[in-house]
Amino acid sequence: MSKQVNIGVIGVGHLGVHHASHLANIKNANLVGVFDTNPQRAEEISKKINTSIFQSVDILLENVDAVSIVTPTPTHRDVAEQCIKKGKHVFIEKPITSSVKDAEYLIELSKKHNVIIQVGHIERFNPALLALSNLEIDPKYIEVHRMAPFMSRGTDVPVVLDLMIHDIDLILSFISSPVKEIYANGISIMTNSVDIANARIKFENGSIANITSSRVAKDRVRKIKMFQQDLYVTIDFLAGISEVYKAMGASQNDPDAIMSAPLVGKDGKHRQIFYEKPKVKKTDALKAELKNYLNAVLGTEKPMVDGFAGKQALDVAIKIHDKILEGFR
């Protein structure tokens, strides 16, 4: 394969247009064209970014090595199946599918056809998170809030599968221990499914994550706080700010410490808290995510979020959602 990936975008709605316009500008992508079941939308976007329109997925697949699937979640399984069966690599927007069974089916199919599945858990590429990549994050307790004003887009799935799944994927990337117990509840306000949800996940290693997600909020919020023995980290994914508080032994009255504890450690030094605000690069998370996908197709990188990771996040999301439904009965 040449150093450029021939790629197409299936579904050019709210998010798909951004996939297409990035792919038109990334040097190892050759954006061959787009397909959308809404011909007016396909026409509008093909003109906007100067690319071809294909009349069906099958015709598009004859011209590409890989695709981005940015269609509504309930269609992911069938669209991805069609692409994988033709031997094409697939980037599937989150959540991977609507059911774990469908995700497992696609993973098996991708193995059989020797193609990559990457899943669009974009927060993994958020520059505020990447700014912390030098830290050993192993949290005992995580608190996350993700809120957004109501929009009808995305309501084809409950809030747990639309918004909370971003945080579930992040939490599973930080805590490498099986889930032991889940408590959850939720409320329907604007739709017939769950619009506000809270979940507390207990892991086998004792770590706990508390997640709140709402799609009926006045303002947007996307914040995580993580606590461990000597480290407290906060990330504001929207503002692109991360903050680090490290506890370590230091001489009393160290002028750089923001807090001093009377506690003296085994090293004879006073426990003190030091604050850092790492520099966050101004990078575009979607562009970084697509570059990772293209490099994975070219064999030079591994997908940051593969089909298995996408399935794991979905599995926990569905368990949370089932717990909420139990509470409704």
- Name the residues that contact ligand NAD, by CB under 6 A: 10-16, 35-38, 41, 70-73, 75, 79, 93-94, 120, 122, 153-154
* Least Å from the CB of residue 326 to ligand NAD: 25
In the complex with ligand NAD, the residue whose CB is nearer, 72 or 265, is 72
In the complex with ligand NAD, the residue whose CB is nearer, 53 or 248, is 53
The pair of structure tokens assigned to 56 is 């069906």
State which residue has the least CB distance to ligand NAD.
Answer: 13
Q: How many residues does the chain have?
A: 329
* Least Å from the CB of residue 260 to ligand NAD: 42
In the complex with ligand NAD, the residue whose CB is nearer, 35 or 203, is 35
Q: Alpha carbon of 97 to those of 217, 234, 314: distances in Å?
A: 26, 30, 8
CA distance 151 to 158: 13
CA distance 55 to 58: 9
* Least Å from the CB of residue 4 to ligand NAD: 24
CA distance 160 to 163: 6
Report the run of H or E that residue 66 belongs to, with start and end.
strand 66-69
* Least Å from the CB of residue 75 to ligand NAD: 4
In the complex with ligand NAD, the residue whose CB is nearer, 89 or 222, is 222
In the complex with ligand NAD, the residue whose CB is nearer, 42 or 247, is 42
In the complex with ligand NAD, the residue whose CB is nearer, 111 or 153, is 153
* Least Å from the CB of residue 163 to ligand NAD: 9
In the complex with ligand NAD, the residue whose CB is nearer, 125 or 232, is 125
CA distance 49 to 20: 8
* Least Å from the CB of residue 19 to ligand NAD: 9
Report the run of H or E that residue 309 belongs to, with start and end.
helix 307-328
Instruction: Mark residue 6 as left, alpha or beta (left: phi above 0; alpha: psi -120 to 50; beta: remaining).
Output: beta
Q: Establish how many alpha carbons lie within 13 A of residue 303's alpha carbon, considering only the half-sphere containing its beta carbon.
A: 22
* Least Å from the CB of residue 235 to ligand NAD: 16
Dihedral angle over CA of 129, 152, 49, 299, nearest 10: 40
In the complex with ligand NAD, the residue whose CB is nearer, 12 or 199, is 12
The pair of structure tokens assigned to 245 is 């508080």
CA distance 116 to 303: 8
* Least Å from the CB of residue 251 to ligand NAD: 46
* Least Å from the CB of residue 284 to ligand NAD: 13
Task: Spell out the residues 6+ positions from residue 126 whose beta carbon is closer than 8 angstroms to its own.
Answer: 235, 237, 240, 285
DSSP 205-248: TS-EEEEEEESS-SS-EEEEEEEETTEEEEEETTTTEEEEEEEE
In the complex with ligand NAD, the residue whose CB is nearer, 10 or 31, is 10
